[in-house]
Every structure is written in structure tokens, then in C-alpha cells.
Structure 1
Amino acid sequence: MTTIAGERAPDWSSEQWQVRARSWVDERLSRAGRRVTGLVEPRVRPWSLVWRVPTDDGPVWFKANNPGTVHEAALIATLAELTPERVLTPIAVDPEQGWSLLPDGGESLRDLLARDPDLAHWERALPGYAALQLTTAPRADELVALGVPDHRPEVLAGLLAELLDDREALLIGAEGGLNPDLHERLRAELPSYAERCRRLADIGIPATVQHDDLHDGNVFAGPDGYRYFDWGDASVAHPFGTLLVTLRSIRHAKKLAADDAGLARLRDAYLEAWTDRYDRRTLVEAADLAIGLGPVSRSLSWRRALDTVDESRAEYADAVPGWLEELFAASPLQPDC
């Protein structure tokens, strides 16, 4: 397993770490004129620890990322600077430690859809996310310098080649791991994959922040509009790679056929933001390419998320090879084979 910058995740269960983190939370809240009024409620995953912290002005959320997702703190601070109307403005961040403290975002899109399962909510949410990506595109190089992973089409084929050499992460031959025959098939596909990456890059749509896990649980749907959160899987990449997870999650939630017209309508609602620069046929071609290339980005993000000694990582380890297998699956907008 590749270790990010040679670091190891801190022991979030240790009293020393918890006292230090709680002191940081208390001090940052005090600066904001708030105080803690009760016990924190923890949620721990291999990639992050989250505390729900009750205060005298409503709950706030403390998040500590592992070394593989530590870039999230710096990213959300930058997004709040560039497009504050589309993300939560953090109360505080510590980029070096990967700590962030955020206000409560209110109702999620998932909660809203549970009451009113109309796809029109997604049709309204996706253009705002596209606008965030367009605003952020000129700062793509800066985001990479801040530590946001670089998954641009120009480097993605090389990242796939490197990933295929990581036999430990892919669990080759192990239960839940990548089948050795499929591993060789993926190696044989490298030239084709690289050619598709070149085609996508040649279309010329600028890279930007790409959430890579944009489903209804990661969108707030409040009276002031939609806000997008939980950026730990994000990378600097082709913007349309977003559609892989987003459309697939909608398809599964609604039990839609892959070629359902509603999914194409949502894709087009998202692509509308680029129609002043590119014709629709080119945009659809780029979307198809980005979706098809996207499983590599997902596999890489899972490998980073699981770059920890936490024993619970084994519960999720099959996600790394599992997403690579998706390279041979149908697109969310194509009929199943």
C-alpha cells in the first residue's frame, strides 16, 4: 500500500489526540463567539473522524482527515474564498493537520428527496455545481500545489499504470480482490485507455475541482440554494468525471434503466454551463469519455482513503479493485449488456 508522503494516520482514539483536538475546537469556537454546550457525538471511518459538536448557536462539525485525504481542509477553505455561495464557509481550518470546523448545513438533498422524489431537484442542483467548477478552473494549478490530487486526463493513464503495479492495494488473487486474469486484461487495455485520455484532453475543456463522490448525501438543499460538501475524494480533473458517481447514484436510487431519458436530461442540465464555449455534441462526447475513464479516479481515491493502519479499512478494501473492474462495465447512460 502506498503511503502518502510517508505519513501515518494519527490515533484518533488516544486521549492525548482527543484532548488536543478538543482544545483546538474550543479555542476556535471561542474566537467565533460560541461555546460547547454538551458531549460531542463521534463518527469514525478509516479516512476521517467526525464530531458533531453542540453549541449555544446550534451544532457544528469537526472533521479530521487521514493523510490520504488531508487535502480536504485546504480545499474547502479555498472553495469558500472562491465561491462562498456554493459551499459552507468554515469556522476554522488547519490544513497541515487536516482539521476543519464547519457550521451545520441543514437539510440534505437526500432528506428532501425522501419527501419529494422529483428529479427536478437534481436538475436545479447540478448547474450550481457546474458553476462552482467553472469558477475554480483558473486555480487548478494552485489546488494541485495545495495537495489536491492531480487526476487530469494528461496524467491519468500513468496513474492507472502505477496502480496496476500496486498488488497489495488491488488484493490480486485474494478474496474480494482483482482477478489475475482481469489484472492482465487491464494491463493490455493501457494503450487504449491512454488514447481515450488524450482524446478527452484534446477537446480542451479545462480541468478543475472534481468532487468524485457527488451524490444526494453530499449536497445541502437549503432556502439559500444548494451547497456541496464532503470533498475528501476530490481531485483536480476533467470536470465531467463527476457524472459517473452522480448519475449512477441517481439511477440506483430511482431504479431507472441506464438509458432513461431522465438521466440524459440531468446530464444536459449539468452540461448547459459549458454551451457558450462548446457545441452540445462535443460536450456529450466529452461526458461519455470522462464517465468511461472515471473508475480509475474512484479507485485511486479509495486507495488514498484507506491509506491507514486502522483495522476497519479491511471492510472497504475491495472498493479499490472493485472500481477498476468498472472500467469494463456499462456507462450510466448506456443500456446494460
Structure 2
Amino acid sequence: MTTIERAPDWSGEQWQTRARAWVDEQVTRAGRQVTGQVEARVRPWSLVWRVPTDGGPVWFKANNPGTAHEAVLVAALSRLAPQRVLTPIAVDPQEGWSLLPDGGESLRDVLGRDPDLKHWERALPGYAELQRATASQVDELVVLGVPDHRPEVLAGLFADLLDDHESLRIGSEGGLSVEAYDRLRAELPSYAERCRRLADIGIPATLQHDDLHDGNVFAGSDGYRFFDWGDASVAHPFGTLLVTLRSIRYADELSADDARLARLRDAYLEAWTDRYDRRTLVEAADLAIALGAVSRSLSWRRALDTADPARAEYADAVPGWLEELLGV
């Protein structure tokens, strides 16, 4: 497994010089030339540069230690599911760096012009195809550093997370109340039983994006491609539906029981109907969605594995997702 030893100082002159030299070298190797100044976006979990070149913009991304697996993951996905992701121009697994070509407009851009859910109905089967293509390689992905959130281990991860009082900010503003914490402790046996049920259904674990919304999907003429894999884990595939269906629901102001959401769920599940009946798939989807809050909380904890003071802006996400198990 490749990891970054410590959080880099992205604002430091030494780091900036080294990163820019790497980008320039990789762009040159790709037969291009940098033509202007980079545009930067910095979050606690990553730094992204838009780099103009004579062949169109390219995108440099540096990850913090908690999301460093993204660099090697995008390289692996370009091999395992090349039609569903961008092929990186270059990757440095030791640094947690990746350089990607421009992917064009996002699904969010498309929906802004044409807010028809048919676009999601077309995109989701391609994502399911990517998941099916990676199912046989999950052990390799874990070795590469992709977090393991399979149902067989998820209850143990939940228990460990409850021991992390600092991340849960128990009794602090924006954190878990003592009452909520005690209720979550009491929820552990039930949570573990549901994890066992989900595992027993037998749908193989695979790569799970864990933040699949319309801003993380390219919608080009050559089909839909999926990106921004920093939250990804090896997990039950259907856990994806937690964020995806919720994001669609909020964007379109739909009720939780809207038939259009069920249709999108079924369009996604279609990829597994060669082995499982529809009723079993829906049961598994319901379980995976209900259990997924722990995965989201763990993803946020990794993303905030940094000394960057800006992390405080997002710190409520770790306890906030866990509260969802209580219906808060």
C-alpha cells in the first residue's frame, strides 16, 4: 500500500516548485506545452490546478494522506474500466498526485440546461458496469490503499469510529450529544446484524464511489465517465445509492417515495438481474443505503486528516452522518 507520510504544505514555495516541475515534465512528455498560469482550488482534502496547455486544459490533483489512494485508483480504473473513466496523463503514487485530461462538461452542466432525469437513467448503468468490472479485483484495490468498507468489516469500523471521541466532538457544538452517542452505542448490535444480512445476500463487493452526484460525472459525446474518487472504498456496490439518490431528490425537490427515484434505482440495479431477482436486489439496496451513513462518516474523517485550519468548516460532517442512523 502506498501512503503519504504526512500532510504536505501545499502553500509552501518548495512544494509548489516541485509540483509545478512535475506537471511541466508530464505535460511535455504528453507532447503538449503549458501556455499560462495555473488556476488553483484548495480544499482540506485536496489541491486542484487547472493547467492551460496548447492542447486544451489539463487537471493536476494532489491529495492529503486520507485520500491519497485516489491517485493509484484512477490509474487502476483506466485499466479495469477504461470506457468509464478518464485515462490519466500521469500518476505519482508516492506523492498522491494525478494529472488528467479535461473531461468536458459535467452531468450537472447538462442538467442545468435540460433537467430531465433521463440523463441519470442513461448514466447509472455505465457506473454499474464499472462496478461489475472491478468486482474481481477488490483485493488488489485494497492492497493499493483503497479503504475496505465491505459489510463483513463495516460494523467493526463503526465500533472503532465510536471510540474516536475527537472526531465525533461529543458534547461540543456541532458534534454528537452525549445522548446521541449513547444511542449509537446501543445501536451497534442491530447494525452488525444488518451488515451480516447484507453480506449473506451474496452480492460481491466492489468499488463504491461514495460521493456520486452530478458534479462527479462527465457527460461527453463518448458517454458518461466518472471521476473524483477520493471518497471511494471497496464496499457493497449499492451503498452508492445513498448519496446519488439523495442528491437527485434534493436537486429536483422530490419526495422520498417519488416513483422517479425508484425508476432510477431500478435502472442501476438492472446490471445485477442476471444473477439476482428484483426483490432481492431491492432488499439489498435498502440495506446498503441504511448502513451507508457509517461509510460516509469514515470518508469524511479521512478527508479531514490534515492540520489545515479550514478543516473546521467541514468537521460537523463526521458526527452528522452518524446521526443519520438515529433518524436525526
Give the shorter-chain TM-score range. over 0.9
RMSD: 1.1
> CA offsets per residue over residues 267-321 of structure 1, 9 Å max, x none?
0000000000000000000000000000000000000000000000000000000
Partner Cα separation in structure 2 for residue 326 and residue 302 of structure 1: 14
| 1:142-153 pair list within 5 angstroms | 142-153=140-151
Amino acid in structure 1 at the alignment position of 2:49? W
Give the equivalent residue in structure 1 for 2:286. Answer: 288
Give the equivalent residue in structure 1 for 2:82. Answer: 84
Q: Is the 8 A contact 2:38 2:49 kept in 1?
A: yes
| 1:114-133 pair list within 5 angstroms | 114-133=112-131
- Out of 24, 37, 40, which is 2:38 matched to? 40
Q: Is the 8 A contact 2:184 2:326 kept in 1?
A: no
- Out of 294, 297, 300, which is 1:299 matched to? 297
| 1:42-81 pair list within 5 angstroms | 42-81=40-79
Partner Cα separation in structure 2 for residue 6 and residue 328 of structure 1: 35
Deviation of residue 6 (structure 1)?
Answer: 8.8
Give the equivalent residue in structure 2 for 1:94. Answer: 92
Q: TM-score, normalised by structure 1?
A: 0.96
Q: Is the 8 A contact 2:4 2:95 kept in 1?
A: no
> CA offsets per residue over residues 200-247 of structure 1, 9 Å max, x none?
000000000000000000000000000000000000000000000000
Partner Cα separation in structure 1 for residue 214 and residue 300 of structure 2: 19
Partner Cα separation in structure 1 for residue 4 and residue 18 of structure 2: 23
Amino acid in structure 2 at the alignment position of 1:112? V
Amino acid in structure 1 at the alignment position of 2:59? W
Give the equivalent residue in structure 2 for 1:335. Answer: none
Give the equivalent residue in structure 1 for 2:314. Answer: 316
Partner Cα separation in structure 1 for residue 182 and residue 258 of structure 2: 34
Give the equivalent residue in structure 2 for 1:333. Answer: none
> CA offsets per residue over residues 150-203 of structure 1, 9 Å max, x none?
000000000000000000000111110011100010000100000000000000
Q: TM-score, normalised by structure 2?
A: 0.98
Deviation of residue 326 (structure 1)?
Answer: 1.0
Amino acid in structure 1 at the alignment position of 2:237? P
Partner Cα separation in structure 2 for residue 94 and residue 327 of structure 1: 38
Count how many residue pairs are aligned between Structure 1 and Structure 2: 327
Q: Is the 8 A contact 1:8 1:309 kept in 2?
A: no
Give the equivalent residue in structure 2 for 1:171. Answer: 169
Amino acid in structure 2 at the alignment position of 1:147? G
Amino acid in structure 1 at the alignment position of 2:165? R
Deviation of residue 11 (structure 1)?
Answer: 0.3
| 1:149-160 pair list within 5 angstroms | 149-160=147-158
Secondary structure of the corresponding residue to residue 125 of structure 1: helix
Q: Which runs of 4+ in 1 moved over 6 A?
A: none
Change (3 A) 1:269 1:6: closer
Partner Cα separation in structure 1 for residue 105 and residue 46 of structure 2: 22
Amino acid in structure 2 at the alignment position of 1:293? L
Partner Cα separation in structure 2 for residue 123 and residue 179 of structure 1: 40
Secondary structure of the corresponding residue to residue 321 of structure 1: helix
Give the equivalent residue in structure 2 for 1:238. Answer: 236
Amino acid in structure 2 at the alignment position of 1:59? P
| 1:131-280 pair list within 5 angstroms | 131-280=129-278
Structure 1 unaligned spans of 5+: 331-337
Amino acid in structure 1 at the alignment position of 2:97? W
Partner Cα separation in structure 1 for residue 94 and residue 194 of structure 2: 36
